[in-house]
């Protein structure tokens, strides 16, 4: 009777999903531990920080989301902060969408590293449409919808380019995506250079594009600003979560999703089974491009952000952050929601660490970098976990014993034959 809970626990640990979650949690935990060690070392060697400041830094990295400031005695205070919680949700939106983009493409056996370019195309299309249509010509909600749909089309077309190159010419999608990334960066820069969307009303911001509120266009807050007061939150987080749920349904509950996974498992076997692998490759990259572009559109259409149009200097980090977000979630669309929020939370914690201590924001960059690095090894960690618990599986041990029993008579028979 006492062995039943243990057997049940072992069965749970043998499930693929459980091992995946454990591998991701271990990757995150190791990253946090490394970050804590770095914070303590930096604090000990920096006189203005000291041991007390070092441990305060560790607390802020772990729970900076809830840091409200310092009391009269100079001690850190913690509690619910609607501003930072709302900003965390706001910043998670583009990361969730780029993570979904990478995850969906991976289901077809493709590595979509083109999310930065697709993200840029979404920003560009949404800004051009939302700022070019006069708000006197049609309702602002309709302008928002047209800009949102325009971003989807732009991202899908841009994502389809490496998909077509892969499907028709068998060109590696990573190389094609890197090419389209930099083409997008320079194309976007050129387009905004000759546009009339540059902010000329504020003399110091001509390198920025107008906020969409310049035309009265902004994503509805859906009442969330009443809960997370004075934050940047809007309905974008709701849209991102709904899209993630739809992608989960698409991948796991539809024929098309099955075909995508079949192509990802074995393209040639899928073709033999009658699945149009070339079409699915192009469609997968097009949908992935649309998802990344939605992330850019929701960022640009929020109404409270400014886009720096000199993008040729660097590609947007949100596109690359989507890669570890997808890896940590094991390319599960629902998991991407939580890993995207976690990455956004680390960003907010870095801000609190910088504002409340003598540390700089690069400390949290170290933590994020370690987690990103370990996310690439999450599969290896998952395999190690599987082997660890496999040794304790009674069924596996019984199978090994049976194999040894059948192997021994065969060896004895072989020895007998040699004696004769």
Distance CA 98, CA 373 (A): 18
Residue in the structure block whose two tokens are 């075909």: 259
pLDDT beyond 70 at 389: no
SS3 at position 275:
coil
Task: Enumerate residues 6+ apart whose C-beta is below 8 A from 169.
Answer: none
pLDDT tens for each residue of 238-279: 999 999 999 999 999 999 888 888 888 778 888 888 888 889
Dihedral angle, C-alpha 244, 246, 251, 256, nearest 10 °: -140
Report the percent of the chain where pLDDT is more than 90. Answer: 39
Helix axes of 115-132 and 317-328: crossing angle, nearest 10 degrees? 130
Structure tokens at 280: 């699915």
Tens digit of each residue's pLDDT (9 = 90 or more) over 65-108: 888 888 888 888 888 889 999 999 999 999 999 999 999 999 88
- What pLDDT score was predicted for residue 420? 47
Classify the C-alpha dihedral 106-107-108-114 as positive or negative: negative
**For residue 129, which of 154, 146, 152 has the smallest C-alpha distance?**
146
User: Which whole-number Å values give the CA distances from 51 to 32, 62, 72, 77, in the listed order?
Assistant: 18, 17, 20, 18
* Burial class (CB within 10 angstroms; exposed 0-12, middle 13-18, buried 19+) of 89: buried
Task: Quote the tokens at residue 295.
Answer: 């992330």
User: Among 95-104, 136-145, 389-398, whose mean pLDDT is lowest?
Assistant: 389-398
- Residue 69: the pLDDT is 85
Residue 418 has pLDDT above 70, yes or no: no
Better-predicted residue by pLDDT, 279 or 32: 279
Across residues 177-183, what is the average pLDDT? 93
Question: Is CATH 2.60.40 the classification given to domain 82-340?
Answer: no
Question: Alpha-carbon distance 175 to 116, whole Å?
Answer: 14
pTM across the whole model: 0.85
- Where in the chain are the domains? 1-80+358-402, 82-340
């Amino acid at each position: 009777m006492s062995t039943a809970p243990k057997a049940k626990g072992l069965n749970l640990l043998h499930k693929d999903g459980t091992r995946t979650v454990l591998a991701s949690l271990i990757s995150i935990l190791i990253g946090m531990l490394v970050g804590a060690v770095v914070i303590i070392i930096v604090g000990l060697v920096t006189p203005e920080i000291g041991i007390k400041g070092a441990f305060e830094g560790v607390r802020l990295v772990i729970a900076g989301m809830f840091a409200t400031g310092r009391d009269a005695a100079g001690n850190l205070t913690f509690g619910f902060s609607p501003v930072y919680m709302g900003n965390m949700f706001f910043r998670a939106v583009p990361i969730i969408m780029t993570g979904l983009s990478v995850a969906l493409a991976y289901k077809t056996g493709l590595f979509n590293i083109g999310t930065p370019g697709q993200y840029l195309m979404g920003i560009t299309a949404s800004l051009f449409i939302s700022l070019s249509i006069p708000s006197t010509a049609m309702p602002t909600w309709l302008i928002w919808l047209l800009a949102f749909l325009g971003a989807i089309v732009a991202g899908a077309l841009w994502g389809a380019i490496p998909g077509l190159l892969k499907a028709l010419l068998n060109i590696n999608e990573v190389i094609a995506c890197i090419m389209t990334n930099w083409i997008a960066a320079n194309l976007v820069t050129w387009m905004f250079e000759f546009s009339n969307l540059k902010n000329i009303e504020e003399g110091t911001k001509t390198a920025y594009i107008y906020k969409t509120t310049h035309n009265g266009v902004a994503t509805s807050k859906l009442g969330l600003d009443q809960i997370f007061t004075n934050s940047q939150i809007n309905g974008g987080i709701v849209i991102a979560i709904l899209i993630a749920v739809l992608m989960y349904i698409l991948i796991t509950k539809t024929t098309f999703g099955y075909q995508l996974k079949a192509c990802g498992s074995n393209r040639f076997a899928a073709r033999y089974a009658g699945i149009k692998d070339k079409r699915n490759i192009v469609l997968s990259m097009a949908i992935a491009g649309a998802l990344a572009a939605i992330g850019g559109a929701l960022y640009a259409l929020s109404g409270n952000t400014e886009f720096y149009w000199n993008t040729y200097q660097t590609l947007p980090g949100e596109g690359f952050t989507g890669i570890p977000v997808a890896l940590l979630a094991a390319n599960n669309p629902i998991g991407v929601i939580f890993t995207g929020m976690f990455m956004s939370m680390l960003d907010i914690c870095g801000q609190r660490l910088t504002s409340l201590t003598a540390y700089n924001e690069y400390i949290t960059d170290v933590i994020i970098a370690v987690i990103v690095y370990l996310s690439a090894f999450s599969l290896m960690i998952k395999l190690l976990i599987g082997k660890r618990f496999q040794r304790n599986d009674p069924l596996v041990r019984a199978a090994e014993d049976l194999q040894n029993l059948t192997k021994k008579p065969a060896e004895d028979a072989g020895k007998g034959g040699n004696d004769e």
